[in-house]
Amino acid sequence: MFGRRAASAPVPAPAAQPAAVQAAAPASDQRLPDQRLSDIKIAIFNDLINSVDPTELGRLDGHAVREEISDIVAEIISMRNLTLSAAEQQVVIADICNDVLGLGPLEPLIARDDIADIMVNGAGKVYIETNGRIELTDIRFRDNAQLMNICQRIVSAVGRRVDEASPICDARLADGSRVNVIVPPLALDGPTLTIRKFKRDKLTLDKLIGFGTISPAGAKLLEVAAASRCNILVSGGTGSGKTTLLNCLTLYIDAGERIVTCEDAAELQLQQPHVVRLETRPPNLEGVGQVTMRDLVRNCLRMRPERIIVGEVRGPEAFDLLQAMNTGHDGSMGTIHANTPRDALSRVENMIAMGGYNLPAKAVREQISSAVNIIVQASRLRDGSRKITHVTEVVGMEGDVITLQDLFVYDIEGEDAQGRITGRHRATGIRPAFWDRARYFGRERELAEALSDHV
């Protein structure tokens, strides 16, 4: 049979009767059904990995491997004289296939499209986020060794290993989902895996309107800002929807423009034909070969981009992005981790200070205020809903302080009977400083309409 290891023969000699499937557990078996099945699974799994070479199995396509494994498992069941119902046998085979080939107990979660994040805190706790809420699932790994094995399989796809010597790793699943792995001794309660599920059907501004994330008028304002080549920072906390929003905004970029995107793990899906996608690279096992976001942003300045899109600005590349925004690459965009638009600006300032450029604070602020036009603030509210809470414009400087004005805001009004937050989006009625820019791009009427929705 394919992939069998010649030397080891852990499976006992075939039993006389073809006892592949029997009715139920004998009455003498006092273990709980779940425990019994899990013990059987472990025994079969151990036999299987002793008798086949998983790397050889890995060379077969998914369907053939499953068939091969089903045959071997059926054989092991028969040889070990195990008592399993037909349904139980199917469960065992499916679980073992997932274990050998896929992500083990996580496979059913990976298949679900309603899940935003999967968070595994050691073998015993798997959380998911659906509809903005985090909940504990009843999925468990057999033990931390099984979980570690799966972590190893995930990171090996990007040519890495996780172990005591290199306990942190970013990787990607075959479907594009972003993965972070951190293992002991850094993670105290066992290997910890965080998966941001990749959504094939990216959200659009229309869908965000449907979710109540933004009002139609607010969405129009964002569309005009993106189409009029404003430099935009999308600010927000973890998982607040920054990348999603950035992706939505890129939809309004003209198809004729040359766009370069720089990301840590490619998440954006631009629809335009002329896009160059760049990705950073962590150092390899010997600690060399790292390519940082800053390297990418600097390099893309030499690639004649019309717009630069930075997935997440979080270090000294902030300075290079500002330079780009200030030197004719209008319409550049990026996301930043901050809780308010004002906060986003101080984060940029801090990133530049940490980058070791010895610039006076005022000079840095001047750079920021002339580079950034719009800050869009995304938030995940306490009821799990995601809202755009501010569309704020950077207008200039007053003394040493950058002046901001809110063009669009979300006012929280209260809570309904189900505990959902109620409120409304409204234009503040302030005339935007980018009015002339919008007029230049022929978007003035739409801008006026979007802003007429004020109280």
Ligand X SMILES: Nc1ncnc2c1ncn2[C@@H]1O[C@H](COP(=O)(O)OP(=O)(O)OP(=O)(O)O)[C@@H](O)[C@H]1O
State the residues that interact with Mg ion by CB under 5 A.
Answer: 242-243
Question: Which residue's C-beta sits nearest to ligand X?
Answer: 241
Of the two residues 214 and 451, which places its CB atom closer to Mg ion in the complex?
Answer: 214
How many CB atoms sit inside 10 A of residue 325's CB? 26
Task: Write down the least CB distance from residue 29 to ligand X, Å.
Answer: 43
Query: In angstroms, rounded to a whole number, what is the distance separating the alpha carbons of residues 153 and 140?
Result: 18
Q: Which of 94, 105, 103, 108 is nearest to 65 (CA)?
A: 94
Give the x-and-dash track for 72-111 against ligand X (CB under 6 A): ----------------------------------------
The single-letter DSSP state of residue 39 is H
208 touches ligand X (CB under 6 A): yes
Q: Which stretch binds ligand X (CB under 6 A): 68-76, 147-155, 182-190, 206-214?
A: 206-214
From candidates 98, 213, 250, 261, binder to ligand X by CB under 6 A: 213
Q: Give the helix/strand (H/E) hosting 31.
A: none
Binding mask 104-143 for ligand X (x = CB under 6 A): ------------x---------------------------
293 near ligand X (CB under 6 A): no
Residue 211's binding partner among Mg ion, ligand X, none (Cβ under 5 to 8 angstroms by kind) is ligand X
CB of 192 to ligand X, least distance (A): 15
How many other CB atoms sit within 10 Å of the CB of residue 186? Answer: 10
Q: How far is the CB of 214 from ligand X (least distance, A)?
A: 8
| Kind and range of the H or E run holding 90 | helix 86-101
153 token code pair: 């399989």
Binding residue (CB under 6 A) for ligand X from 386, 390, 425, 443: 386
Binding of ligand X by 211 (CB under 6 A): yes
> Which DSSP string corresponds to 310-355?
ES---STHHHHHHHHHHTT-TT-EEEEE-SSHHHHHHHHHHHHHHT
**Nearest distance from C-beta of residue 117 to ligand X, angstroms:** 7
Helix axes 341-354, 361-371, angle to 10 degrees: 130
**Site size for ligand X (CB under 6 A):** 17
Q: Give the pairing type, strands 333-337 and 232-236.
A: parallel
Longest CA pairwise span in the chain (Å): 92
User: Closest residue to Mg ion, Cβ-based?
Assistant: 243
Residue 236 contacts which entry, ligand X, Mg ion, none (Cβ below 5-8 A, type-dependent):
ligand X
**Stretch of residues binding ligand X (CB under 6 A), selected from 19-27, 39-47, 192-200, 218-226:** 192-200
Asked if 376 and 387 touch (Cβ cutoff 8 Å), the reply is no
Backbone angles phi, psi at 418, to 5 degrees: -85, 5
Strands of the 232-236 sheet, one edge to the other: 275-279, 259-263, 307-310, 333-337, 232-236, 374-380, 386-398, 401-415, 421-427
Q: Does 199 bind ligand X (CB under 6 A)?
A: yes
Q: In what order do the strands lie in the sheet with 178-182?
A: 133-136, 126-130, 115-121, 192-196, 178-182, 168-172
Closest CA to 70 of 78, 109, 151, 34: 78
Q: In the bound complex, what is the minimum distance in angstroms from residue 374's beta carbon to Mg ion?
A: 18
| Candidate ranges 50-58, 193-201, 340-348, 413-421; the one touching ligand X (CB under 6 A) | 193-201
Identity of the residue, 266 or 301, whose beta carbon is nearer to Mg ion in the bound complex: 266
Q: Does 310 bind ligand X (CB under 6 A)?
A: no
Question: Which CB atom, from 4 or from 199, has the smaller least distance to ligand X?
Answer: 199
Instruction: Give residues 230-269 in contact with ligand X (rule: CB under 6 A).
Output: 236, 238-244
Which residues of this protein are in contact with ligand X, per CB under 6 A? Answer: 116, 196-197, 199, 203, 208, 211, 213, 236, 238-244, 386
